[in-house]
Amino acid sequence: MDKDDLIIAGRPFQSRLLVGTGKYCDFKETRSAIDKSGSQIVTVAIRRTNIGQNKNEQSLIDFLPPKDFTYLPNTAGCYSADDAIRTLYLARELLDGHNLVKLEVLGDPKTLYPNVVETLKAAAVLIKDGFDVMVYTSDDPIIAKKLEDIGCCAIMPLASLIGSGMGILNPWNLEIIIDTLSVPVIVDAGVGTASDAAIAMELGCDGVLMNTAIAAARDPIMMAGAMKKAIEAGREAFLAGRMSKKLYSASPSSPLSGLIK
Amino acid sequence: MYSNMKITINGNIREFRHESMTADELVVELKLIGKRFAIERNGEIMPKSLFKQFIVNDGDHLEIVGAVGGG
């Protein structure tokens, strides 16, 4: 298939799989899994750095050079618009002015469900200040549309709770969001295995962002490869246009004529 | 006679044998040269390009962050 790029804020990507970099056993495994996934966009968290740390201590950035990947700094762990905004100002300074970010404002530590009120507030401020905001949100079609209307460059509804591996719990809402929005819709959170990713793509999502489904697999590197294939298979099935479902009426695949008597 | 300055860095108080110093000098003291980090002072970003001019004062609160694995 040629030229089916995913365009986010004017930037073209060939891979529709976006991956997180958390929960791996070491940076070498992180890098191997990401290479196997074919992902070009990787999310990173912003955290206090160790002061006076051992000079030889390895950092994530050594294994994932920012020249080879598009970094997507996130605001994971932020529970207010102000914290999320502060975090992304630091991220922009850290990454030399890079302005493509993932905004997530959480509402509850048990479910990690997004706080869409604070998310909307933060998105408005960040967009005004020149950020390209990819936003994690609930699968509420009205909120998704509002986030698009205020200028978010990609809307990223959950499939199910972060890290739950429960898969797509409400394909109907995702379909409404996909039908209503013009910016890319990327399922973020909840994917558990390859078929979940394929279903998201078959629904017409523009991409899928996942972390735990790969990192917590028994063999993360093999699962990264499975996810790459699932995303590609789901995308091609969506573009190819599936057959219509026929309830209660079978249709033989072989000719009815020429049967031996 | 110099008095020591106290700065809160990432939630911990650190003492330095200066009355004040530039952000550049602080980076040397903290052995952060060659690392990728960003600094916020009292809630405001300190741009790397201005490290030579930025003065860190007694009582300042700094957050120094880097990128780590995350989803």
Q: Do A94 and B66 touch (CB under 8 A)?
A: yes
Report pLDDT for A246.
86
**Phi/psi at A141 (nearest 5 deg)?**
-65, -30
Percent of chain A with pLDDT over 70: 97
Beta bridge partner(s), residue A19: A42, A210
Report pLDDT for A52.
66
pLDDT at A157 over 60: yes
Closest CA to A119 of A84, A88, A151, A92: A84
Q: CA-CA distance, B4 to A122, in Å (whole number)?
A: 39
Task: Please report, in angstroms and rounded to a whole number, the separation of the first and last CA atoms in chain B.
Answer: 50
Q: What is the DSSP letter of A49?
A: P
**Phi/psi at A177 (nearest 5 deg)?**
-60, -45
Q: Do A71 and B69 touch (CB under 8 A)?
A: no
Sign of the CA dihedral with A215 first, then A219, A225, and A229 last: negative
- Band the pLDDT of A119: cuts 50, 70, 90: very high
Q: Which of A76-90, A229-243, A247-261 has the lowest mean pLDDT?
A: A247-261
Active site residue A102: yes
Q: Do A212 and B71 touch (CB under 8 A)?
A: yes
- Beta strand pairing call for A11-13 and A17-20: unpaired
* Contact residues, A window 186-215, toward B, CB-based 8 Å cutoff: 189, 209-212
Task: Choose, out of A31, A50, A88, A93, the residue to mutate when testing the contact with B (most B CBs < 10 Å).
Answer: A93
Q: CA-CA distance, A229 to B62, in Å (whole number)?
A: 45
pLDDT at A50 over 90: no
ipTM for this prediction: 0.92
- Band the pLDDT of B18: cuts 50, 70, 90: confident
pLDDT at B4 over 90: no
